Amino acid sequence: MEISGNPAIVRHKKELFFDEIDFDQHVPLPLEESDLTILQLFDRVLREVTSKGFSQSTLDLCMPYICRLAQLQAITNRQAFIMAICMNFSLNMSITLRAVANMLDTTNMMLMHWMPDFHALCEKELLEKMERRMGRVDEYVIPADVLEAFSNNEVFVKKTSKVENTLELLSTFYHLFKQKSKTCMETDTFIKKCSRHLSDNQHLPLVSKLKKLELSSIESELILLHLCRCYVMNSMSNVSLGQIVALFDEGKDRNVMVYGLLQGNHELFQRKLITFGCADGIKDKETLCLTAKARHLLIPEYKLRGMNTPSSDMTSHKDIVFKNLYYNPSVEQQIQRLHSLLEEKNFRMVQKRLQERGFHKGIACLFYGSPGTGKTETVLQLAKSSGRDVMQVSMSQIRSKWVGESQKNIQEVFASYKERVRASKLCPILLFNEADAIIGNRMEVTTSSVDKMENSIQNVILQEMENLEGIMIATTNLQGSLDAAFERRFLYKVEFEKPSLQVRTQIWHSMMPDVDEATLSSIASQYDFSGGQIENIARKALVDDLLFYSSDISNKERISTFCRQEALSKNAIKGFSL
């Protein structure tokens, strides 16, 4: 019985022969073939292997082409041969070790001897290992830029990953993230490429600041980069958790990461770099977004598109003109308490104690009452006396005709305020002036898009007030339609009543010090004006003095005329009955 007649023995001998194939040769390319292109060199190798089968004699015939390819690409002969075989499958969706083994008429197990060469080709980015699918670990692809180089008869050179600015870097990561999700790039390969880009671009502020955070893993860095990329390039503040999870392999590590993100105890949450997204003002645990702290730290120069028009104005405490304000006794007492609270030493102490007790440390106040009773001016004078700047919100600019934009705008206002709190020596005051529309009763049945938008804005503000770390004051003329959810969130609620006779008299004297006391006392008792109305009359009198003053008219007569003109409603005149 011949040994060659036993298939098992023949296969055994062939496998041993395969393992002993000699690639350590150097055979120069014949002079007449020196002008062969890279694709032609690959073709010569493939023609020999497909026509004669894989053997030492076949390899000897291919060796001039293999050596030339190895020389051009700075790889070993065996790696050049592997690239030639893989080029035969370059138009396929993937290249498997099984397909290579079948072409070489050997077993997958014997091909495992060449795995270090496959890994080396992946390191040189001539091959790319694909994500494991259904337990398979043997799938590769030739990257498009490698095929393009070979088609142009060019040696593939790993492109430098150094870029000029943050936008270019985020664009590079966009393509990597897209490639990862679309082509099943192996997570290890993906992470190595991302790490190289970070390593080569430490001159960029985004990368240097990211490294200074000293996060525990590259995965945490990539989550932040993905959120930055979505924010800057796609104007997305909320990003699906599924998008982020898809960047990493299934397994124990990913499960731990996902659990931490779902529970809000991942290190990025603990460091206050990310938070849950917000849908119609309600916390959405299916989405994540950068915190104001992260945006301020990593990408301070970028804002969501559509937010170029400022929705808030910053007023320096130095630009606020000091005014003496007069209140009824009950209001005076509450305002004095707020003056004391906003003194920096007291404010820091109170916030510390609140935090130690597990309470929210933000201070929210509501000033409500009739128009002209000094609500807005009181905010300004509180800011002036405590040395705090005022960030005043314009609701007309926040509202947008585009669906969802108003909610984004109000979120941006609070994000901007948080950044200002962090950047300011003294915590500024966030002022929602004339906030009637946003703190009134919410619609229970929302049939129109406008109602839905208003409810969504209110939900966002309610959520932000829960996380407030600074000082927020809202003023409103509403007397009885304050939404219960807002009422609970305001720590101080001060009702500004119309001034009493005594207070009105004080206001008249402060506004018109040159007019005799008897005249002003008489006017004060006759007209039930607010402080704002008295100021209007005082201003009109000053203009009249400068331009039209006549000594023939007494002060009382002139001021009474102005009072009658100011009193559009006869109810402002004391003693008038309907």
Q: How does pLDDT run across 31-72, given as a tens digit for each residue?
A: 888 899 999 999 999 999 999 888 888 888 999 999 999 999
Task: Answer whether residue 303 is part of any domain.
Answer: no
Is it the case that residue 445 has pLDDT exceeding 60? no
Which pLDDT value is given to residue 284? 74
Is it the case that residue 570 has pLDDT exceeding 60? no
Contact 287, 276 (CB under 8 A): yes
Same domain, 430 and 333: yes
Task: Answer whether residue 305 is part of any domain.
Answer: no
For residue 47, the cross-strand partners are none
Report the CATH number at residue 486. 3.40.50.300
For the segment 515-541, the average pLDDT, to the nearest whole number, is 88
Task: Answer whether residue 563 is part of any domain.
Answer: yes
Is it the case that residue 157 has pLDDT exceeding 80? yes
Number of domains in the chain: 4
Report the alpha-carbon angle 257-258-264, nearest 5.
90
Question: In sequence order, which residues have a C-beta less than 8 Å from that of residue 190 and are 6 or more positions away?
Answer: 176, 179, 180, 247
Same domain, 468 and 525: no
**Distance linking the first and last C-alpha atoms of the chain:** 130
Query: Which structural domain, as residue segments, surrounds residue 140?
Result: 3-151
Q: How does pLDDT run across 387-422, given as a tens digit for each residue?
A: 999 998 876 666 654 445 667 777 778 877 887 888
Report helix, strand or coil for 365: strand
Same domain, 321 and 255: no
Which pLDDT value is given to residue 403? 46
Is it the case that residue 26 has pLDDT exceeding 70? yes
Which pLDDT value is given to residue 434? 81
Q: How does pLDDT run across 245-261, given as a tens digit for each residue?
A: 877 766 666 788 888 88
Q: State which of 496, 527, 545 marks the end of a domain.
A: 496
Q: How does pLDDT run across 100-143, given as a tens digit for each residue?
A: 988 988 887 788 888 899 989 988 889 988 765 544 557 888 98
pTM value is 0.54
For the segment 557-565, the average pLDDT, to the nearest whole number, is 86
For the segment 311-318, the average pLDDT, to the nearest whole number, is 76
> Within 10 A of 155 (CB to CB), how many other CB atoms are there?
12
Residue 402 or residue 300, greater confidence:
300
pLDDT bin (cut points 50, 70, 90) of residue 262 is confident
Same domain, 246 and 352: no
Same domain, 373 and 444: yes
Is it the case that residue 2 has pLDDT exceeding 50? no
Q: State which of 103, 123, 151 marks the end of a domain.
A: 151
DSSP string over 8-41: HHHHHHHHHHHHT-------PPPGGGTT--HHHH
Same domain, 147 and 181: no
Cα distance between residue 279 and residue 283, in whole Å? 6
Q: State which of 298, 323, 341 marks the end of a domain.
A: 298
Same domain, 330 and 464: yes
Q: Considering the chain, what percentage of its residues have pLDDT values greater than 70?
A: 82
Task: Answer whether residue 110 is part of any domain.
Answer: yes
Cα distance between residue 291 and residue 431, in whole Å? 21
- Return phi, psi of residue 170, to 5°: -65, -35
Is it the case that residue 8 has pLDDT exceeding 50? no
Same domain, 358 and 479: yes
Same domain, 42 and 145: yes
| Residue found under tokens 């966030």 | 430
Same domain, 407 and 520: no
Which pLDDT value is given to residue 309? 39
Report the CATH number at residue 11. 1.10.10
Task: Answer whether residue 306 is part of any domain.
Answer: no
